[in-house]
Amino acid sequence: MKAKLLAYTPAAPLMKASGVLDWRSLLPHLGYTFAVEKISRACSHQLVRHRAASFSQQSQRYITVKRLSERVVTPPSVETAGADEFNKLVEEVSEAYQRLVEQGVPKEDARFILPNATETSLLMTMDGRSLLHFFGLRCCNRAQWEIRALADRMLEEARAAEPDVFNEAGPYCYQLGYCPEGRFTCGRMQEALDMYRP
């Protein structure tokens, strides 16, 4: 998995041009574009639920999935238990996909048998306010492991580019000073605060 901040609109020149002294009120106007690479389709399905964002994703209609076994994301839990079962099925699907394509089935139809584990890459653009919300939800201990790892890498990139804006970003407990998860709280807020403090 890789996340790289390709481009963004810096806050400082906009603050100067507009005379606005607080970057928080400019957040909806700031844009951040990331290359998100080699995540699973399961993860990209979660990403696109963030509707206030723009996505351009590798299309399985146009790109043939060659050697599926080298292009799947394997969850850590599967690596410790169930790896044989997982790998066997991936191999079978890989062969079946290739056979379908060779028999003349269009890629857009052959892809119907590909698993959620299939790797994908995409461009994602969010405004600053949506990105803070994304970090609030997806850096949380309760987020699923893959999108959480992705959110952490994106946060690293964002902090390196705009520390004044994103040093305050992280899971909602870090942003708000309390956990908004109610009875679902992980109970490890202090750990999260220590982890996300720059």
Partner 1 sequence: MRITLVAHTPDVEVMVAASMLTTTSGAQPSTLHERLQANPEKVREVVGRLEVQHGNVLEHNRLIWVLEATRDEVMDVMLDTRYLTFTKLDRNRWIMSGNLRAVAEYAHKKDTEFTGKLVESLKEVAPTIHQYIRRGVK
Task: Tell whether residue 157 is a contact of partner 1 (CB under 8 A).
Answer: no
Considering only residues 69 through 128, tell me which ones interact with partner 1, judged by CB under 8 A. Answer: 121-123, 125, 127
Kindly tell me which residue out of 1, 42, 46, 58 binds partner 1, with binding defined by CB under 8 A.
58
Active-site residue, from 41, 138, 148, 159: 138
What is the distance between the alpha carbons of residues 185 and 141, in angstroms, rounded to a whole number?
A: 9
DSSP output for 93-161: HHHHHHHHHHTT--HHHHGGG--TTBEEEEEEEEEHHHHHHHHHHHSSTTS-HHHHHHHHHHHHHHHHH
Task: Tell whether residue 59 is a contact of partner 1 (CB under 8 A).
Answer: yes
Residue (29 or 100) nearer to partner 1, CB: 29
Kindly state the tokens that stand for 186.
């992980």
Is 49 labeled as catalytic in the residue annotation? no
Q: How many residues make contact with partner 1 (CB under 8 A)?
A: 37
The set of residues, in sequence order, having a beta carbon less than 8 Å from that of 112 and lying 6+ positions away, is none
The DSSP 8-state label assigned to residue 79 in this structure reads H
Task: Tell whether residue 175 is a contact of partner 1 (CB under 8 A).
Answer: no
Q: Return the active site residues.
A: 138
Q: Which stretches of the chain bind partner 1, using CB under 8 A?
A: 2, 4, 6-10, 13-14, 17-20, 25-26, 28-31, 33, 35-38, 54-59, 62-63, 121-123, 125, 127
